[in-house]
Structure 1
């Protein structure tokens, strides 16, 4: 829950900008919704206090991992990147590109604990932030991690960022500083539908959808990395730093015997004045990012209006999220304890309150924006699935964004008799109907995993519908039980 509390305002702000479907009258109506009870039963106070202590430990570990990730490839790689190569670090680049305010970073811990070793932040930073007041997706290589080469996890992270841009029609900016694919793992990078080539396919699809794409070449763009800036609508290159070529000087020497410098083979002056592969020349990185900002300002996109503060705060303390975090994925908790600390004024208009009670669905407001809430309150039974299908279709019909709170129960064992087998079959059929409803819903969807994420139930709770983004709260052993 600590992670959710830290990123809540960023997620909500981004979520709101993803959709303008909720009408002002609906937002005002949310202030009249009934108030739900979020009081923690006194009998569970000792569990709450134990959860809080464990959440604090997890929060500290989270901070430590973030600090580790910010070091990228390590101190030696940072020294080589900044002093020998005279380049800015990736987070410094983002500070110069983005507006001076918070941004939503996606998948910051991707790449940790892999079988082939740690790849901090998957070797690239992705996220959503404002540039000249326009919400944009950014994909920025971190060249301190193996020279910005792409691992399988790097490709997956970049494809996910492109998917979010496509779903929400967000302009995309690429900060390219990449040595191409990490060749020892090329068998996991090249051949399949969701591997490296999908990046370029997505770029073409985004252009066809009129989603603007801007690239800044702020380092080497070698092999597969060379396609990204050349397929963007507008490209900026940094003098003495940016290069674009399919094969570098060593390979040219080996193949033809010719000695050629990186600058003459694919440097900034060559591509801006001879080949025409890039559109703008930047003498420094600062100038290049200013140029990129100017390009975004020329897109004819309306800047986002300032966030309205005309909404009620939850009636219950949001700091209590840390004591509600489940300490075991097998545990569930009364979901209304979470909703009472998340929704404006703790107000919630529940849908089919007495039917399929293991799923809570209804309308609410989050920072003044109407949403449809679909939240697990136990296993996803037959009745709960039918209720979920109905509610999702209702929200889709009315153009109301969906917020899923997933805390699915552990899977049952194999049925031991015909009656149980029939019950399980009926439940699975109803879950399939809900999966179809979620997948077909065209409204924006966000999934927040607050506990267990088990089997087919997880697909019905937003994972089948391309939720973007999806947050997961780590467990810390135990939970407040359902009341």
Structure 2
């Protein structure tokens, strides 16, 4: 397989400018993630006085030492609480990721009780449900470390209440599919949250700390006048000895996590997976150079071969139909020994490029090869020539093939993702198995200036049709408003805060992240489950 020969000049002014801009964006991302961790860690003294571990310390105790952990959607909810961007805490109040527990790869959710006592946040609900959907599609056991104050009644929204019920639906679907659901109750799990352990297959509760009840003492008194303590209503000992909700009673957080690890080991979850050892060579070009290759100016051309050369094994890339529809890039490669078909863009999608992609997708489906979409497109090409060449029908064939592909699909937003190009290149609306974004990437129905120019033409035409004098000042003011609106909504942080991806990643981490995602997809296709008609019912 031919290796890509890089033409990048790291000493060039453009490279150094790009590198500085990307480093600044990566640092902004890391600063936001640190803000969330620091906010949670500020509760350490309060937790330690109660003999409890902080949420991320619990996660560390649960995971296998040294094994990879892929955290997802770290910017969820950022600025959606309408607070000052300098004070907004991203993350949705829950830590989500894929990691190893006693050698078993699992989806893990950790209520971040260090922030607002783990109260439910709207985007935290959506983030949690996205994790459940990934677990179901990728055949991953689901582990939930629970400690939540429940819904914040001061910020009550009926849609959060109604749609939040889907989390229980997905728990039932996971169990019925044959995927173990394990819950560790470290603190309160109240009201609707009580159904988290109630719909789990295995429940571990911490003595004197874990509690689960449909109505706590204040609500009980308000509803019925009955007086009861939290331990009487839903304490760990009561649930272990009387109600039967808990299978295991732990002495403290560390003991609970020890039990969780032993339980995962006892399931013999990897019994059907043959060992798979691969030999592969790292890329010939340094991933550090991706910082200088990725551009913040999407008007300037970017050869995505340079990106591919820094993420695939030995920088080997067997290009498919290189001279047909050359602005669209397709070809075969491998990442950490796992074969993959790559689809990317060096320009807009044209009829020939769309036809090439359709052919390539179908060929990859035939061979069972996963598809990797590296988005860098201003969209489908427009104009009289392309319309007459059948752009609509050829683009539709491409979308048909992509939507119905039976192989894993992973998307990375590397640059522009504009218009229907976002759709044809497997954007979030087409349910890729995983979707990640580089900090410099921009997503919108079109570029800001293009949108402003379009609206200016429409506004001027409307004025003329009404017999009004064309008001250039009004048009210019509208143009600035449209540009400002689009600029605010196209950024990676804006997209990720709304869970329109699975997280913003440092470009230098792309190969590592893709290796984890591909191995998750590969493992899920090999795993045979034992589904049951219903989820496991508790006695």
What interval of TM-score do these two structures reach, taking the shorter chain for normalisation?
A: 0.7 to 0.9
Alignment of 1:427-446 (within 5 A): 427-446=391-410
For 1:198 and 1:392, the matched residues in 2 are separated by 33
Match of 1:160 in 2: 130
Structure 1 residue 62: Cα displacement:
2.6
Structure 1 residue 73: Cα displacement:
4.9
Check the 8 A contact 2:417/2:441 in 1, yes or no.
no
Match of 1:298 in 2: 266
Match of 1:174 in 2: 144
Match of 1:394 in 2: 363
Check the 8 A contact 1:340/1:347 in 2, yes or no.
yes
Check 1:382–1:323 CA distance in 2 against 1; reply closer, same or farther (3 A cut): same
Check the 8 A contact 1:220/1:243 in 2, yes or no.
yes
CA deviation map 1:419-452 (0-9, x unaligned): 368359x323322322222221222221111111
Match of 1:406 among 375, 398, 411: 375
Give SS of 2:377's match: coil
For 2:133 and 2:246, the matched residues in 1 are separated by 25
Check the 8 A contact 1:179/1:223 in 2, yes or no.
no
Structure 1 residue 78: Cα displacement:
4.4
For 1:461 and 1:411, the matched residues in 2 are separated by 10
Check the 8 A contact 1:402/1:446 in 2, yes or no.
yes
Check the 8 A contact 1:406/1:451 in 2, yes or no.
yes
The answer on 1:149 being equivalent to 2:119 is yes
For 1:188 and 1:152, the matched residues in 2 are separated by 9
Check 1:390–1:199 CA distance in 2 against 1; reply closer, same or farther (3 A cut): same
Match of 1:472 in 2: 437
Give SS of 1:449's match: strand
Check the 8 A contact 1:331/1:409 in 2, yes or no.
no
Match of 2:330 in 1: 361
Specify every segment of 5 or more residues in structure 1 that has no aligned partner in the other structure, as ranges.
1-32, 478-483
Structure 1 residue 332: Cα displacement:
4.1
Match of 1:263 in 2: 231
The answer on 1:113 being equivalent to 2:79 is yes
Check the 8 A contact 2:101/2:261 in 1, yes or no.
yes
Give SS of 1:120's match: coil
Match of 2:193 in 1: 225
TM-score by length of 1: 0.84
Give SS of 2:91's match: helix
Would you identify which runs of 4 or more consecutive aligned residues in structure 1 move more than 6 Å?
303-307
Moved more, 394-403 or 122-131: 394-403
Tell me which structure has the larger Cα radius of gyration.
2
Check the 8 A contact 2:379/2:421 in 1, yes or no.
no
TM-score by length of 2: 0.76
Alignment of 1:62-101 (within 5 A): 62-73=29-40, 75=42, 77-83=43-49, 85-101=50-66
For 2:190 and 2:346, the matched residues in 1 are separated by 50
CA deviation map 1:50-88 (0-9, x unaligned): 11122222233233222112123573x4443443x4421
Check the 8 A contact 2:375/2:416 in 1, yes or no.
yes
Structure 1 residue 327: Cα displacement:
1.0
For 1:130 and 1:82, the matched residues in 2 are separated by 26
CA deviation map 1:243-262 (0-9, x unaligned): 00111111112222232111
Match of 1:286 in 2: 254
Give SS of 1:302's match: coil
Structure 1 residue 363: Cα displacement:
0.8
Count of paired positions: 434
For 1:48 and 1:421, the matched residues in 2 are separated by 34
Match of 2:158 among 187, 190, 196: 187
Match of 1:462 in 2: 426
CA deviation map 1:161-196 (0-9, x unaligned): 1121111101110111122233324223133xxx21
Match of 1:277 in 2: 245
Check 1:115–1:382 CA distance in 2 against 1; reply closer, same or farther (3 A cut): farther
Structure 1 residue 465: Cα displacement:
4.0
Check the 8 A contact 2:378/2:419 in 1, yes or no.
no
For 1:239 and 1:215, the matched residues in 2 are separated by 15
Match of 2:349 among 380, 397, 401: 380
For 2:312 and 2:262, the matched residues in 1 are separated by 38
Structure 1 residue 203: Cα displacement:
1.1
Specify every segment of 5 or more residues in structure 2 that has no aligned partner in the other structure, as ranges.
443-539
Report the RMSD for the aligned CA atoms in angstroms. 2.3
